[in-house]
């Protein structure tokens, strides 16, 4: 065999003896070769360019070893043993929650390498109602936030000096019954409701009596009662009775303060509420000026036309902010509305060249009315663009920020 054959035979015998004595696994030789290959790969990584292929984790072609989970495979196919502490550190890092969102689940592939899959959380999505709440509505009063509404204490309080007189009520009741009997009108029952200025007598006639006959006796009843301005309501709506309103001899004064301070006025849902007085049952009588686009106040001298206008203006001043309401006052008499000159800076609207906010010159009234007509046409154009019919609907859309001020829209 020669020296070469003898040497190879000795190496095989020594190797077999070592394997049998120390019970060495064949994979040991693979590890030894891996150590040499890792050293070689480390040397090559030092001299390789930055764009060199990065090592990947996995197993070699031809099957997987249980120990391959701790090995790194380079581009040339050699395995590199990974340190246990590095693996543990990597596992601990994989358990942490990433900033992109919560960890959904962990997946382990065939080589027992666990990958943590995360999905970014888009965040909470608000509903349309919640978005509307976060987007605050426009408040026109903030344009003049320091303005203070007038206190009720500015109004004078009138105390009733008259007392309820049963004798007067009974006398008028007997007069009404006697007058109706004179015209062959029988009555079943009669009741009286005393109000601040008038008393309502409700008459229940006998069966078969024509209401038109009672209505025709209005002047005769007024003559017999020696009262001016009685009114017959035949029938009273919803009651089936005939009402006869007779003015009181000593009427009470209905104070504006009691109306403004009433719960009905303060909690009214009207756009432009007006406290007109009290009903026959002594309840506040409320009206909405927004539902009366045309209003004519007429009457004889001393019947309360100016008082009625003052009631309308005062009611609006106590319920509407200057940003919500403007007045154009015309006073041909020059003495009826002069008291409102104090609110010129806040509530009164006037032409730029006008000297006085309250118009007293009848010739200047024409220019003011022309300017109001122009403003009316401009508002109709805004209503058309907003696809609404009335100012309330337009303002509701503007407050809800559904109209763009950059397109000419404004609070009306």
Using H for helix, E for strand and C for coil, what is the string for 294-313?
Answer: CCCCCCCCCCCHHHHHHHHH
308: domain range?
Answer: 150-158+253-320
Question: pLDDT (tens digit, 9 = 90+) per residue, 92-134?
Answer: 444 444 444 555 556 666 666 666 666 666 656 767 666 555 5
Domain-located, residue 306: yes
Are residues 297 and 154 part of one domain? yes
- Mean pLDDT calculated for residue range 366-389: 93
Binned at pLDDT 50, 70 and 90, residue 351 comes out as confident
Least confident of 59-68, 112-121, 233-242, 331-340: 59-68
Roughly how many angstroms between the first and final C-alpha of the chain, as a whole number?
119
Are residues 264 and 154 part of one domain? yes
Binned at pLDDT 50, 70 and 90, residue 30 comes out as low
Are residues 400 and 347 part of one domain? yes
Domain-located, residue 96: no
Are residues 243 and 182 part of one domain? yes
Domain boundary among 282, 304, 320: 320
Q: What is the per-residue pLDDT for 38?
A: 55
Are residues 226 and 191 part of one domain? yes
Mean pLDDT of the chain, nearest integer: 77
Are residues 344 and 209 part of one domain? no
Q: What is the per-residue pLDDT for 378?
A: 94
Binned at pLDDT 50, 70 and 90, residue 21 comes out as low
Q: What is the per-residue pLDDT for 87?
A: 44
Domain boundary among 201, 227, 247: 247
Domain boundary among 216, 247, 278: 247
Are residues 221 and 177 part of one domain? yes
CB 232 within 8 A of CB 176: no
Binned at pLDDT 50, 70 and 90, residue 270 comes out as very high
Domain-located, residue 113: no
Greater pLDDT, 100 or 271: 271
Domain-located, residue 372: yes
Are residues 284 and 154 part of one domain? yes
Domain-located, residue 225: yes
What is the separation of C-alpha 28 from the centre of its chain, rounded to a whole number of angstroms? 79
Domain-located, residue 270: yes
Are residues 347 and 234 part of one domain? no
Are residues 257 and 233 part of one domain? no
For the cut 50, the answer to whether the pLDDT of residue 407 exceeds it is yes
Are residues 279 and 334 part of one domain? no
For the cut 80, the answer to whether the pLDDT of residue 312 exceeds it is yes
For the cut 80, the answer to whether the pLDDT of residue 304 exceeds it is yes
Number of domains in the chain: 3
Are residues 267 and 210 part of one domain? no
Question: pLDDT (tens digit, 9 = 90+) per residue, 160-176?
Answer: 766 667 888 888 888 88
Q: CATH number of the domain that 224 lies in?
A: 3.30.980.40
Domain-located, residue 221: yes
Distance CA 362, CA 51 (A): 94
Domain-located, residue 18: no
For the cut 90, the answer to whether the pLDDT of residue 345 exceeds it is no
- Mean pLDDT calculated for residue range 321-344: 90
Angle at 271 between CA 269 and CA 276, to 5 degrees: 85
Q: What is the per-residue pLDDT for 89?
A: 44
- Mean pLDDT calculated for residue range 185-206: 87
């Amino acid at each position: 065999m020669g020296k070469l054959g003898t040497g190879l035979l000795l190496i095989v015998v020594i190797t077999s003896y070592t394997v049998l004595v120390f019970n060495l696994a064949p994979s040991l030789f693979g590890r030894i070769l891996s150590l040499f290959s890792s050293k070689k790969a480390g040397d090559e990584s030092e001299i390789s360019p930055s764009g060199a292929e990065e090592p990947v984790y996995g197993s070699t072609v031809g099957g997987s070893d249980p120990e391959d989970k701790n090995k790194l495979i380079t581009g040339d196919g050699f395995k590199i043993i990974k340190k246990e502490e590095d693996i543990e550190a990597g596992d601990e890092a994989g358990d942490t929650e990433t900033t992109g969102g919560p960890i959904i689940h962990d997946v382990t592939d065939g080589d027992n390498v666990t990958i943590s899959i995360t999905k970014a959380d888009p965040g909470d999505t608000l509903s349309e109602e919640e978005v509307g709440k976060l987007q605050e509505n426009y408040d026109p009063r903030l344009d003049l936030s320091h303005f203070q509404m007038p206190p009720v204490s500015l109004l004078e309080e009138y105390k009733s000096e008259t007392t309820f007189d049963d004798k007067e009520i009974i006398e008028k009741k007997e007069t009404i019954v006697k007058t109706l009997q004179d015209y062959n009108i029988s009555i079943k029952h009669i009741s009286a409701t005393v109000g601040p200025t008038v008393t309502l007598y409700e008459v229940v006639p006998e069966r078969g009596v024509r209401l038109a006959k009672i209505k025709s006796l209005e002047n005769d009843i007024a003559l017999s009662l020696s009262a001016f301005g009685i009114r017959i309501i035949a029938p009273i709506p919803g009651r089936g009775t005939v009402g006869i309103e007779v003015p009181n001899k000593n009427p009470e004064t209905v104070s504006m303060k009691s109306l403004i301070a009433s719960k009905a006025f303060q909690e009214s849902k009207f756009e432009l509420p007006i406290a007109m007085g009290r009903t026959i049952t002594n309840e506040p009588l409320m009206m909405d000026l927004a539902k009366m686009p045309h209003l004519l106040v007429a009457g004889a001298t001393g019947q309360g036309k100016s008082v009625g206008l003052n009631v309308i203006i005062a009611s609006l001043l106590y319920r509407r902010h200057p940003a919500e309401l403007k007045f154009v006052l015309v006073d041909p008499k020059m003495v009826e509305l002069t008291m409102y000159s104090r609110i010129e800076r806040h509530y009164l609207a006037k032409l730029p060249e006008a000297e006085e906010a309250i118009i007293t010159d009848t010739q200047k009234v024409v220019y003011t009315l022309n300017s109001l007509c122009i403003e009316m046409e401009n508002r109709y154009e805004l209503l058309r663009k907003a696809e609404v019919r009335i100012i309330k609907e337009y303002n509701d859309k503007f407050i809800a920020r559904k109209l763009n001020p950059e397109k000419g829209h404004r609070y009306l």
